């Protein structure tokens, strides 16, 4: 992407974020102290609705369905029933149960209880958490990204099928260099010329899946629908990489783990537990790296914007906005870099598992 265009997009995104951020600050009590930590944690965590904007003092949101499994069976209702209450004050009656939302977690009140009570550490003592299958904004955006990727790849494949000379046009012309890049710069070098093809569907899937969700996480109107900043999402991707690596391992791979060739027997015994631990450390590092890098960028931008309200001075605004713009530009680049790193490390692990003995 052209650097000037990147800066323009970043400025637009940052401006929209700042307007929404300032508007949200205005809706809070003027005499209430501003808590940047609470605000940041509120923005980076998952939620049951999309807060789009405020209109005449009232929030405009896209409500998502809440689906719970309780002792009375499946219970479903709209998240709008809570009326944007995240402090456990609004009680929703559904399917014979009473439910409250506390810090984006759904609790079912005990029988006969009309208000939630807390212990000394502010944990509910008269409410239980049912099994929650709700469609949160992260789940919703994951479905959107899956639908978008299916559309992109099916359209690209259809374009090649219709092309008589094999020359890509339209969307296929845009996708071909990216697919060739994953094949020639990730698949072949890391796995090998003769074995890379069987892993290409997975490598292409995680590369574009992570990249598109990272981009979605930068769009202000989605209000923090940051799927890659969810540890459960990165954990699931890392588990898939671990499973494929484990089942792809050949005789040479397992020999290097359990009985390292070419070293004295005492060293073999010493290295075996290290190699076994390394099998699990690799996917864990994948999980934490993606989660931490994506989350850190959002936290830094929100922290910089918070300086305006912490110091209660417009004079600090140019500095906060300038640094936030700089971090936003970096984040746009990081969206692709993190997808690339996750994909190339996965390919590296596959290559190590399938490497033949020299």
Q: Which residue has the tokens 């790849």?
A: 153
**Taking 90 as the threshold, does the pLDDT of residue 174 lie above it?**
no
> Could you tell me which of 102, 350, 120 has the C-alpha nearest to residue 250?
350
Is residue 101 within 8 Å of residue 90, measured between CB atoms?
yes
Residue 14 half-sphere exposure, CB side, CA atoms within 13 Å? 27
Residue-wise pLDDT for 200-256, tens only, equals 999 999 999 999 999 888 876 665 577 888 899 999 999 999 999 999 988 888 888
Position with higher pLDDT, 11 vs 186: 186
Residue 86 in tokens: 């995240």
Any idea what DSSP says for residue 302?
H
Residue-wise pLDDT for 41-63, tens only, equals 777 788 888 877 777 767 777 88
**Taking 50 as the threshold, does the pLDDT of residue 29 lie above it?**
no
Torsion angles phi and psi, residue 151, rounded to 5: -60, -45
Position with higher pLDDT, 202 vs 40: 202
Alpha-carbon span 139 to 324, nearest angstrom: 28
> Could you tell me which of 145, 149, 143, 168 has the C-alpha nearest to residue 158?
168
pLDDT for 102 equals: 84
> Could you tell me which of 234, 230, 253 has the C-alpha nearest to residue 350?
253
Residue-wise pLDDT for 252-271, tens only, equals 888 888 887 877 888 888 88
Is residue 206 within 8 Å of residue 346, measured between CB atoms?
yes
Q: What is the mean pLDDT of the chain?
A: 83
Collect all residues with Cβ–Cβ distance below 8 Å to 127 and sequence separation of at least 6.
100, 107, 108, 109, 110, 113, 116
pLDDT for 27 equals: 47
pLDDT for 298 equals: 82
SS percent in the chain: helix, strand, coil, step 5: 65, 15, 25
Residue-wise pLDDT for 77-119, tens only, equals 888 888 877 787 888 888 888 888 888 888 888 887 888 888 8
Alpha-carbon span 84 to 53, nearest angstrom: 13
Q: Which residue has the tokens 């402090």?
A: 87
Residue 351 in tokens: 């290559």
**Taking 60 as the threshold, does the pLDDT of residue 10 lie above it?**
no
Alpha-carbon span 304 to 320, nearest angstrom: 5
Residue 14 in tokens: 């940052």
> Could you tell me which of 244, 237, 248 has the C-alpha nearest to residue 338?
237
Residue 315 half-sphere exposure, CB side, CA atoms within 13 Å? 2
Alpha-carbon span 297 to 178, nearest angstrom: 25
Task: Parse the chain into domains and list their residue ranges.
Answer: 65-134, 138-354
Task: Please tell me the least confidently modeled range out of 164-168, 228-232, 336-340.
Answer: 164-168
pLDDT over 70 percentage in the chain? 89
pLDDT for 85 equals: 79
pLDDT for 223 equals: 59
**Taking 70 as the threshold, does the pLDDT of residue 5 lie above it?**
no
Any idea what DSSP says for residue 99?
E
Burial of 153 (0-12, 13-18, 19+ CB in 10 A): middle
Count helices and strands in the chain by DSSP H and E runs: 10, 9
């Amino acid at each position: 992407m052209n650097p000037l265009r990147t800066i323009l997009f970043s400025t637009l995104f940052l401006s929209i974020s700042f307007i929404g951020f300032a508007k949200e600050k205005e809706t809070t009590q003027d005499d209430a102290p501003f808590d940047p930590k609470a605000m940041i944690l509120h923005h980076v965590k998952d939620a049951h609705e999309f807060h789009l904007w405020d209109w005449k003092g009232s929030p405009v949101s896209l409500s998502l369905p809440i689906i719970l499994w309780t002792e009375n069976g499946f219970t479903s209702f709209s998240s709008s029933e809570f009326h944007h209450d995240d402090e456990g004050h609004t009680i929703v009656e559904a399917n014979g149960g009473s439910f409250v939302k506390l810090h984006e977690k759904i609790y079912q009140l005990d029988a006969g209880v009309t208000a939630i009570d807390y212990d000394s550490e502010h944990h509910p003592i008269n409410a239980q958490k049912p099994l929650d299958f709700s469609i949160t904004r992260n789940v919703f955006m994951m479905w959107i990204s899956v639908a978008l990727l299916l559309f992109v790849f099916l359209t690209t494949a259809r374009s090649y099928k219709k092309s008589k000379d094999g020359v890509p046009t339209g969307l296929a012309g845009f996708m071909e260099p990216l697919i060739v890049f994953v094949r020639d710069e990730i698949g072949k070098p890391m796995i090998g010329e003769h074995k890379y093809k069987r892993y290409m569907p997975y490598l292409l899937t995680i590369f574009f899946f992570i990249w598109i969700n990272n981009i979605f996480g930068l769009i202000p109107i989605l209000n923090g629908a940051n799927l890659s900043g969810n540890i459960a999402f990165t954990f699931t991707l890392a588990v898939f990489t671990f499973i494929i690596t484990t089942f792809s391992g050949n005789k040479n791979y397992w020999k290097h783990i359990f009985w390292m060739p070419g070293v004295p027997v005492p060293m073999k015994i010493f290295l075996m537990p290290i190699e076994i631990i390394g099998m699990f450390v690799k996917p864990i590092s994948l999980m934490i790296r993606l989660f931490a890098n994506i989350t850190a960028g959002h936290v830094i931008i929100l922290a910089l914007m918070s300086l305006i309200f912490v110091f209660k001075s417009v004079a600090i605004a140019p500095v906060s906005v300038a640094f936030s713009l700089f971090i936003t530009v970096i984040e746009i680049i990081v969206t692709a870099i993190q997808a690339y790193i996750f994909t190339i490390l996965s390919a590296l692990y596959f290559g190590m598992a399938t490497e033949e003995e020299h």
